[in-house]
Amino acid sequence: MSMFISLLVGGLVLGCTYGMLSLGLSLIYQASGFMNFTQANLLMFGAFVCYQFFGVWEIPFVISLILSVAIMFCVGWGIERVVIRRLVAKKAKNVYVVLSTIAISIIIENLAMLIWNPRQHYFPSIFKDSSPIKIGSASIGKESLLCIVVALAAMVALHFFLNKTKFGTAMRAAAQNKTAASCMGINVNKTIGITYGIAAALACLGGILIAPKMTAYYQVGNQISMKSFAGAVIGGYGHIYGAIVGAMFVGLLETFVGAYISSAYKELIVYGVMILFMIIKPSGLFNAKVYE
Amino acid sequence: MAETILKVVDLTINFSGLKAVDTLNFEIEKGEIFGLIGPNGAGKTTTFNMISGALKPTSGEVWLNGQRIDGNYMYQTNKLGIARTYQNINLFRSMTVLENLLVGQHCRLHSGLFPAIFRTPKEKKEEEAAVQKARDTLEFCGLGHKEDTYSSSLSYGEQRILEIARALVSDPVLIILDEPAAGMNPTEKNSLADLVKRIRARGITVLLVEHDMKFVMGITDRICVLNYGKRLALGTPAEVQANPEVIEAYLGGGD
Amino acid sequence: MKKNGFFETKKGKTIAAAVILALLVIIPLLMDNNIILKQNKYFYVLLCLIGIYTIITSGLDILFGYTGQISFGHAGFFCIGAYGSVLLTHPGWGLGKLTGYVLPPILSILLVACITACIGALLAVPASKLVFHFLSMLTIAFNQIIYLIANNFSWLTNGSIGITSVPAVTILGFSFSTVSSKLRYYYLVLFFVIVLLVVKTHIINSRVGRGLIAIRENPTAANGCGINVAKYKIMSFAISAFYVGLAGGLYVHMIGFVSPDTFIQNTSVIFITMLLFGGSGNLVGPILGAAVITFIQEGLQSLADYRMLIYGVLLLIIILFQPQGLSGLGKTFSGLAARGKGGESNG
């Protein structure tokens, strides 16, 4: 039982991390209709930025977190502003936009490797007293709990942001119909740019929260990239709540398969499930609208 | 009574609850020029799309020469003898005019992958014949002097003609023209009308949608008027023009 | 815009091709007589690699440049080709381990290329129905799965350690062992490059090729012109996979060693970089891309850490500023790019 609980928590922590990525993928897809392959490497980069502030310069954790999330927001916004918007303005084919995100992803990954060298870095523990919390016979790390709590809080905050604020409404309007939205005086370019920023900020948050559990390593992005996509596909690509549920499912599936079957097969099984969804139910669990 | 070539029976399609085309019925006789008109959003292009196989009707049937064709894919319908043009021009833009017409013959040619790789004599012969046929068709449509031009650099009117040529080259029994005169100047419209008549003279039945009333009334034998997805009237141009319901739909609606 | 220029005429093309071919045959032969270069066996490896990458990028070009379908998983096909040929020819692994019999390498290269084509077709069955953005994901997942199989199924592939001493190619007793002479292997690769490039041109300039280009240009109109779009996409995937699978076989019998690391996701990206850098949708683009990127790669040996970064930057620059690649640059004076992308920027 205690093993089950710790696996459950481990799966949820992974799920939350993937969820932050899937959420960003879905947001961007909704707002601009494009896929974005930079997301996972933004997570890795965000974790490294925070490591620099918190681990190297020893700035208090909360300030480091806010600083890195802000920086990553700008990075995401900058990517849209400098690359994506240019390509869209040139009426480039979708393929080229996707390729450009892959190119950026490679650049980010290798920049991280050059800045922080290819070694694995140990992210210092966030809490001074790092003794785990006991629930029954199972003990759960405080960082795991923090990860789940912050991720859930971020998701709820995003929900309110999209549904209750004026800007959120503008974003949703721009996502549904760009022409109509710009006729209503919404600056569509700006909303898309901010969407990329939010997605990058979410990725960064996810990266910081998982970093104490995984060690910061420049290839982390590659390892989790496809799984966040799997989460988004299973939930329904472009569906915000679907992304979260799908990512949780992937996190749990991966953890339990790894524990009970074989860790050699866990990724194969996750990809297999994703491919099955693509073929049999491309709209995912939440019946997302799939664009041509 | 002439032989029926295309029969549309109770054709209906729903777009998320909205009936874009509602129990539509009409028959087209072999060798006639049949017009489909109606105000914007009346379901003309949707009807075309269902006949040509781009859309699957919710219910109803489409028969071509006694063979049921609704629910086919476009490429199957094309092989059975229906060729079409598009309202928003769909050319192969980085191909030359001649190459566009070679693609147009796709369903009438047979060489597969391996004859292509080994350049068999049969394949070569077929290709030569195809080029000749494409040239003849271009000549027929008045684009003979443009065969090596990239289709994207043709004028708007020429692009519309090229679409017709591309449809024509597949030896259709029925050709569907979706707003062929859109964006053309009066001279171009006249030569288009002439071309449509010459196509009919080849024994090919023509079904067309057009907004230009003068153009439609001038060349069609019969017209079907659609309004809100339903058939409003059917008859010769003169009958249709005299029909009070049609006048109401067009003028009363403030079109 | 009309086609013109000497090199766009049939005669001009034939002459240009003959001259280039003669140079490719003679120059290495002359170099083999040069004492200094003869010592430097690595030069031939480089030429062979360029040939192999040319086959890969040409295959990718059929899929991407002509049919307009993207694959981020061609390293997966490359992997199948390489491991497949090892497993059929190596006495200690796969077929050799199970039955004691092995196939002659040249036969297994061709056979595995056919198998790869079948796998490509199988992958394309769902891919042909997928909307574009799922296609890129599916191909990445495919690449990952193939890599994971190569890396994790130790009983089949010896896991991450890889398999060494892969047998050399022998045709009718004539050995193409790369230990004794790399020049011979160069001619073997050159032979395949030429055959496959001719096949590519024949396919492109046929009814089938027109069908593929039509799909790239306008899938709706292609469908309306009687082209079975799904079938042609599957065919394109299969042809493309055939090329890459064959290249995998040639690669592994040259290097004599195979390990999963060669086939990571980045390799697929490098293939795409090569293709885009050279220019897609024509004959010379893939060759140029393969050659230039291979030389860059070798030139950057000392900067190995920066290699992927440079690819990334290069790819981004091409996408942003020169989507037609090198061959697009030289288009005005190199008519060899005859069936390029017309006046369209960005395809």
Residues C25-59 have pLDDT tens digits of: 777 777 766 666 555 667 788 889 999 999 999 99
Q: Say if residues A109 and A84 touch (Cβ distance below 8 Å).
A: no
- Give the number of residues written for chain A: 292
Distance CA A27, CA A218 (A): 25
Q: What is the pLDDT of residue B160?
A: 93
Tell me: do B5 and B47 sit in the same domain: yes
Domain assignment present for C128:
yes
Strand partners, C171: C174
Tell me: do C124 and C258 sit in the same domain: yes
φ/ψ (deg, to 5) at B227: -145, 125
Tell me: do B25 and B132 sit in the same domain: no
Tell me: do B214 and B159 sit in the same domain: no
- Average pLDDT, consecutive stretches of 10 residues, N- to C-terminus, chain A (292 residues): 83 90 88 86 91 88 91 94 89 84 91 86 76 72 85 87 84 78 81 90 89 76 85 86 90 90 85 86 76 46
B79, B96, B102: residue with CB nearest C226: B79
Q: Say if residues B15 and B1 touch (Cβ distance below 8 Å).
A: no
Catalogue the E-assigned strands of chain A: 133-135, 138-140
Residues 6+ apart with CB under 8 A from A46: A68, A69, A71, A72, A200, A203, A204, A205, A206, A207, A208
Q: What is the pLDDT of residue C344?
A: 39
pLDDT band at C183 (very low <50, low <70, confident <90, very high): confident
Tell me: do C34 and C146 sit in the same domain: no
Residue C2: CA atoms inside 13 Å, Cβ hemisphere, count?
7
Q: Which residues of C touch A87 (CB under 8 A)?
A: 319-320
C206, C217, C220: residue with CB nearest B94: C217
Tell me: do C64 and C137 sit in the same domain: yes
Q: Are strands B59-64 and B4-15 parallel, antiparallel or unpaired?
A: antiparallel
Listed residues B171, B197, B218: the one ending a domain: B171
Q: Say if residues C245 and C84 touch (Cβ distance below 8 Å).
A: yes
Q: What is the pLDDT of residue C332?
A: 40
| Structural domain boundaries, residue B49 | 1-81+172-255
Q: Do chains A and B touch (3 or more CB pairs under 8 A)?
A: no
Which residue has better confidence, C183 or C185?
C185
Closest-CA distance, B142 to chain C, in angstroms, reads: 18
Q: Say if residues C113 and C81 touch (Cβ distance below 8 Å).
A: yes
Domain assignment present for C220:
yes
φ/ψ (deg, to 5) at C255: -70, -35
CA of C127: which chain A residue's CA is closest? A279
Catalogue the E-assigned strands of chain B: 4-15, 18-29, 33-37, 59-64, 67-68, 82-84, 174-178, 205-209, 222-227, 230-235
C210, C228, C342: residue with CB nearest B75: C228
Q: Say if residues C258 and C163 touch (Cβ distance below 8 Å).
A: yes
Hey, what domains does chain A have and what are their CATH numbers?
A: 2-119+138-280 (1.10.3470)
Query: Could you tell me the pTM of the whole model?
Result: 0.89
Tell me: do C107 and C155 sit in the same domain: yes
Q: Does residue B158 belong to the interface with chain C, where contact is any CB pair within 8 Å?
A: no
Q: What is the pLDDT of residue C343?
A: 39
CA of C149: which chain A residue's CA is closest? A268
Q: Pick from C159, C120, C156: which is nearest to C261 by CA?
A: C159
- Give the number of residues written for chain B: 255
Number of domains in chain B: 2
Distance CA C106, CA C89 (A): 9
Q: Does residue B127 belong to the interface with chain C, where contact is any CB pair within 8 Å?
A: yes
Tell me: do C194 and C251 sit in the same domain: yes
Q: What is the ipTM of this complex?
A: 0.90
Q: Does residue C68 belong to the interface with chain A, where contact is any CB pair within 8 Å?
A: yes
Tell me: do C164 and C183 sit in the same domain: yes
Which of the residues C207, C216, C235 would you substitute to probe the B interface, choosing the one with the greatest number of B C-beta atoms within 10 Å?
A: C207
Tell me: do B100 and B166 sit in the same domain: yes
Q: Does residue C221 belong to the interface with chain B, where contact is any CB pair within 8 Å?
A: yes
Q: Say if residues A270 and A219 touch (Cβ distance below 8 Å).
A: no
Domain assignment present for B97:
yes
Tell me: do B240 and B122 sit in the same domain: no
Tell me: do B167 and B215 sit in the same domain: no
Domain assignment present for B143:
yes
- pLDDT (tens digit, 0 to 9) for every residue of chain B, 255 residues total? 578 899 999 999 988 778 888 889 999 999 999 999 888 778 888 998 999 988 889 999 999 998 999 888 999 999 999 999 998 889 998 899 999 999 999 989 888 899 999 999 999 999 999 999 999 999 999 988 888 999 989 999 999 999 999 999 999 999 999 999 888 889 999 999 999 999 999 999 999 998 888 888 889 999 999 888 888 889 999 898 888 888 887 766 444
* Six token digits for residue C121: 């077709």
Q: What is the pLDDT of residue A259?
A: 87
Listed residues C264, C296, C326: the one ending a domain: C264
Closest-CA distance, C124 to chain B, in angstroms, reads: 17
Taking only Cα atoms into account, the Rg of chain A, rounded to an integer number of angstroms, comes to 19
CA of A290: which chain C residue's CA is closest? C131
Residue appearing with tokens 């932050």: A20
Tell me: do B2 and B17 sit in the same domain: yes
Q: Does residue B90 belong to the interface with chain C, where contact is any CB pair within 8 Å?
A: yes
B52, B96, B109: residue with CB nearest C224: B52
Domain assignment present for B87:
no
Distance CA C297, CA B110 (A): 45
Which residue has better confidence, A201 or C296?
A201
Domain assignment present for B252:
yes
Say what the alpha-carbon torsion angle C32, C38, C41, C45 is, to the nearest 10 degrees: -20
* Six token digits for residue C224: 């309306």
Q: What is the count of residue pairs from B and C with beta carbons less than 8 Å apart?
A: 120
Q: What is the pLDDT of residue C339?
A: 43
Which of the residues B69, B86, B102, B113 would you substitute to probe the C interface, choosing the one with the greatest number of C C-beta atoms within 10 Å?
A: B113
Are the Cβ atoms of A102 and C134 closer than 8 angstroms?
no
Tell me: do B165 and B182 sit in the same domain: no
Distance CA B249, CA C279 (A): 55
Domain assignment present for C256:
yes
User: Residues of A134-170 as b/e, b for ≥16 C-beta within 10 angstroms?
Assistant: eeeebebbbbbbebbebbeebbeebeeebeeeeebeb
Tell me: do C138 and C174 sit in the same domain: yes
- Residue C347 clears pLDDT 50, i.e. is over it: no
Domain assignment present for B200:
yes
The DSSP letter of residue B171 is: -
Distance CA C203, CA C303 (A): 40
Coil, helix or strand at residue B1: coil
Are the Cβ atoms of C226 and B153 closer than 8 angstroms?
no
Domain assignment present for B86:
no
Helix%, strand%, coil% for chain B, nearest 5: 45, 25, 30
CATH number of the domain that residue B35 is part of: 3.40.50.300
Q: Which residues of C touch A103 (CB under 8 A)?
A: 312-313, 315-316, 319
Q: Pick from A22, A51, A209, A73: which is nearest to A117 by CA?
A: A51
Tell me: do B123 and B163 sit in the same domain: yes
Domain assignment present for C278:
no
Tell me: do B192 and B67 sit in the same domain: yes
- Residue C5 clears pLDDT 60, i.e. is over it: no
Domain assignment present for C335:
no
- C neighbour chains, 3+ CB pairs within 8 Å: A, B
Strand partners, B29: B4
Q: Does residue C154 belong to the interface with chain B, where contact is any CB pair within 8 Å?
A: no
Looking at residue A42, its amino acid is L
Helix%, strand%, coil% for chain A, nearest 5: 75, 5, 20
How far is Cα of residue A32 from the mean position of the Cα atoms in its chain?
Answer: 17
Distance CA A79, CA A197 (A): 9
Tell me the residues of chain B between 1 and 20 that have a Cβ less than 8 Å away from chain C: none
Distance CA A145, CA A133 (A): 9
Tell me: do C98 and C227 sit in the same domain: yes
Distance CA A11, CA C304 (A): 37
Q: Say if residues B62 and B51 touch (Cβ distance below 8 Å).
A: yes
Domain assignment present for C303:
no
Q: Are strands B230-235 and A133-135 parallel, antiparallel or unpaired?
A: unpaired
Q: Are strands B59-64 and B230-235 parallel, antiparallel or unpaired?
A: unpaired
Q: Does residue C345 belong to the interface with chain B, where contact is any CB pair within 8 Å?
A: no
Looking at residue A145, its amino acid is L
Distance CA A240, CA A288 (A): 9
Q: Pick from C345, C335, C289, C233: which is nearest to C3 by CA?
A: C335
Domain assignment present for C93:
yes
Listed residues B124, B155, B171: the one ending a domain: B171
**Neighbour tally for A285: CB within 10 Å:** 17
Coil, helix or strand at residue A39: helix
Looking at residue C329, its amino acid is L
CA of C225: which chain B residue's CA is closest? B104
Tell me: do C185 and C169 sit in the same domain: yes
Tell me: do B106 and B212 sit in the same domain: no
| Structural domain boundaries, residue C22 | 9-40
Q: Does residue C154 belong to the interface with chain A, where contact is any CB pair within 8 Å?
A: no
Are the Cβ atoms of A106 and C308 closer than 8 angstroms?
yes
Taking only Cα atoms into account, the Rg of chain C, rounded to an integer number of angstroms, comes to 20
Tell me: do C160 and C32 sit in the same domain: no
Tell me: do C19 and C153 sit in the same domain: no
Distance CA C148, CA C138 (A): 15
Are the Cβ atoms of B150 and C341 closer than 8 angstroms?
no
CA angle A249, A251, A254 (to 5 degrees): 105
Are the Cβ atoms of A106 and C315 closer than 8 angstroms?
yes
Domain assignment present for B65:
yes
Closest-CA distance, B54 to chain C, in angstroms, reads: 8
Q: Does residue B49 belong to the interface with chain C, where contact is any CB pair within 8 Å?
A: no
Distance CA C71, CA A95 (A): 10
Q: Pick from B227, B186, B193, B188: which is nearest to B208 by CA?
A: B193
Q: What is the pLDDT of residue C155?
A: 87
Number of domains in chain C: 2
CA angle C105, C107, C113 (to 5 degrees): 100
Tell me: do C129 and C27 sit in the same domain: no
**pLDDT tens column, B233-243:** 899 998 988 88
The DSSP letter of residue B96 is: B
Secondary structure (DSSP) of B178-247: ESTTTT--HHHHHHHHHHHHHHHHTT-EEEEE-S-HHHHHHH-SEEEEEETTEEEEEE-HHHHHH-HHHH
Listed residues B138, B171, B204: the one ending a domain: B171
Tell me: do B176 and B254 sit in the same domain: yes
Domain assignment present for C101:
yes
Distance CA A236, CA A29 (A): 11
